Amino acid sequence: MYNFKQEEKMEKADIGIIGMEVMGKNLSLNFEDKGYTVAVYNRTGAKTKSFAEGPAKGKKIIPTYEIKDFVGALKKPRKIMLMVKVGKPIDDFIEKLLPYLEKGDLIIDGGNSFFKDTIRRNKELTEKGILFIGTGISGGEEGALKGPAIMPGGQFEAYKLVEEMFQKIAAKAYDGQPCVTYIGPNGAGHFVKMVHNGIEYGDMQLIGEVAWFFKNAFNMSSGEIADIMKEWNGESDILRSYLIEITADCMREKHKENENEYLVDIVGDITRMKGTGTWTVQSALELLVPVPTIAAAVFSREMSQEKELRLKMAEILPVQIKKELEENRDEVIKLTHDALYIAKISSYAQGFALLK
């Protein structure tokens, strides 16, 4: 536990991170790798201890087991990043932190919070003299460790407190520039991350429909579809992207207990959602911005959960594939490639229109 009597002797942390799930742990390691000292805390101390004795061992990471000790381990003005579940857990931790904070300290919500909640929290904390940033973090577990894209929104003075730190841990674009910039006030950062996720919903749905089409039109195996996706992810191909790349990898994955069976052919065809896609569509309706591709992707995920209904519909309206498709296989594959490109542009355009 952090010892206040040794406060002057011990090195204070540049930033504190609450939440020791994989994103919180990897961001802690990323900050530490860039030269920063990090204080960490988790609601259940066992996870903090496991992290401290495992990946964080020997690094400039200070494990703490009480909120008071966590706050006491930080340099002033304190910079605290919440990497916990969205919703009530964010509000709960803010309430726990407030008794130990001073005016000018900064709280950062690094989860996928609804931007309207971020606006509310910003207002409430501003009234108490506490700075607040709601930031989108893109790149998943690997991005958190090696370099994410960061979308911070809040007071500009709050952003300036962490600008250099964020620039150091962020991914770098092709021109070497860090993938982070000040998005705007209040919930702007989380709004952009929400739309980013909505665009990704559309992108994934389009790729999934292409795979379904190839399987049903040409009776392709998952391995054959993987080969096409790998080709489409070629260095000079206009479809080259991370999602195309991992689609090829996923389609090629074999069942561990049966190498003759592709994993994608046996996993359940039901997709869940965390909320950002739904929020994107709801916001588009409120702002009168049409986002049909993104909306269709969200409804497709909802429809996937109606398994019994889908099976009944498939019996009533079986898929009819025209013979001409097989006869013109190569041409159809090329046309599908181009159609996917145009549809992806449409999904991005809808998202950018919503950002305006």
**Which region among 152-156, 165-169, 286-290, 316-320 has the lowest average model confidence (pLDDT)?**
316-320
For the chain, state the CA radius of gyration. Answer: 23
Enclosing domain of residue 150:
4-186
CA angle 29, 34, 36 (to 5 degrees): 80
> How much is the pLDDT for 9?
57
Q: Which of these is catalytic: 200, 235, 253, 274?
A: 200
Per-residue confidence band for 260, with pLDDT thresholds at 50, 70 and 90: confident
State whether 212 and 286 are in the same domain.
yes
State whether 115 and 217 are in the same domain.
no
> How much is the pLDDT for 6?
46
**What does the pLDDT average to over 224-249?**
96
**What does the pLDDT average to over 147-155?**
98
- What count of other Cβ atoms lies within 10 Å of the Cβ of residue 318? 8
User: For residue 287, is pLDDT > 60?
Assistant: yes
Q: Which of these is catalytic: 25, 79, 193, 344?
A: 193
The DSSP code for 68 is H
> How much is the pLDDT for 1?
38
| Look-up of token digits 């998952």 | 222
Q: How many whole angstroms separate alpha carbon 54 and alpha carbon 18?
A: 17
State whether 178 and 199 are in the same domain.
no
Query: Which secondary-structure segment (H or E) carries 258?
Result: strand 258-262
For residue 132, give both structure tokens: 């607040």
Mean pLDDT of the chain: 94
From 186, 207, 224, the end of a domain falls on: 186
State whether 260 and 244 are in the same domain.
yes
38-41/106-109 β-pairing: unpaired
Query: Which secondary-structure segment (H or E) carries 105?
Result: none
From 169, 186, 203, the end of a domain falls on: 186
State whether 175 and 224 are in the same domain.
no
193 counts as catalytic: yes
Q: How many whole angstroms separate alpha carbon 107 and alpha carbon 81?
A: 6
**Which region among 79-88, 182-191, 261-270 has the lowest average model confidence (pLDDT)?**
261-270
Q: What share of the chain is helix, strand, coil (3-state, %, to 5)?
A: 55, 15, 30
What is the domain count for the chain?
2
User: For residue 322, is pLDDT > 90?
Assistant: no
From 158, 186, 214, the end of a domain falls on: 186
Distances (CA, A) of 354 to 201, 234, 235, 291, 293: 15, 31, 31, 8, 13
Residue 246: give its domain's CATH number: 1.10.1040.10
State whether 179 and 205 are in the same domain.
no
> How much is the pLDDT for 248?
97
State whether 126 and 91 are in the same domain.
yes
